[in-house]
A = this chain, B = another copy of it.
Amino acid sequence: MELMKEYVQKYGHAIGDKILKVDSFLNHQIDPFLMMEVGKEFKKRFAGKGINKILTIEASGIAVGITTAFAFEVPMVFAKKNKPSTMADSYNATVFSFTKNKEYNITVAKEFLQKGDKVLIIDDFLALGNAILGLQSLCEQAGAEVLGVGIAIEKGFQEGGKMLRERGIHLESLAIIDSLQDGNIIVR
C-alpha cells in the first residue's frame, strides 16, 4: 500500500537496526485518515472470503481493527491482556514477547468468538509472529476459522512473516521493512 510506505518513510524513525518507531501515526499518536484507508485496503485484499469478524489485540491493534471492521461491516473483537473480573468463560493463550522478554496471557470471552466464525486477524506490527499465533490459538479453541492475517507494518528482516506464510496463512502486510541498518528505513 503506497500510502503506508510513504508514512513509514516520511514519519518513521529507525532506532538501531531492529526498532522502527512509528509512534507519530500508528501506535501512540494515530492518524485517523490513514487508519480509514488501511481498513479499505484490507477490505480489498480479503474480499469475497465471507469474513464475519475482525480479531485483534489491545492496545495498538484496536485502531486498525475498528476501521477494518467498519470497512467489512462486521464486529471487531480485541483480545485483552488482563482478564476482567466480569468476564465469565474465556479462551486463553500465552504469548511470549521478545521485545519485553516476558510471557503474557491473552483472553477473549467465549461468547464473542464462536464455532463457524470466519475471522480476519489484524495487527499493527508483525515481527516474530507470536501474538498472531496466540490469536490463532484462540480461534482454534473456539472452532473459528482464520481466513487471513492483515498487518500494517511487517518487519521483513524478522521471521514472523516467513513462518506464517509457510503455515499456509493468507498474510497481507501493507508495508514490509527489509532493513533498518544505519538508521535507513528500507521499504520493500
Q: Min CB distance, A57 to chain B, in Å?
A: 9
In the complex the two chains form, is A30's CB within 8 Å of B86's CB?
no
Which chain B positions have C-beta within 8 A of A80? 28, 59
Which chain B positions have C-beta within 8 A of A73? 32-33
Cα-based distance from A149 to B78 in the complex (angstroms)? 25
Residue of chain B at shortest CB distance from A72: B32
Binding site for B on A (CB under 8 A): 15, 19, 21, 23-25, 28-33, 35-36, 58-59, 62-63, 66-67, 69-70, 73-78, 80, 85-87, 99, 108-109, 111-112
In the complex the two chains form, is A86's CB within 8 Å of B31's CB?
no
Q: 9 new A-B pairs (CB below 8 Å) besides A30-B75, A30-B76, A66-B66?
A: A28-B80, A28-B109, A30-B62, A32-B69, A35-B66, A58-B58, A59-B62, A62-B66, A85-B99
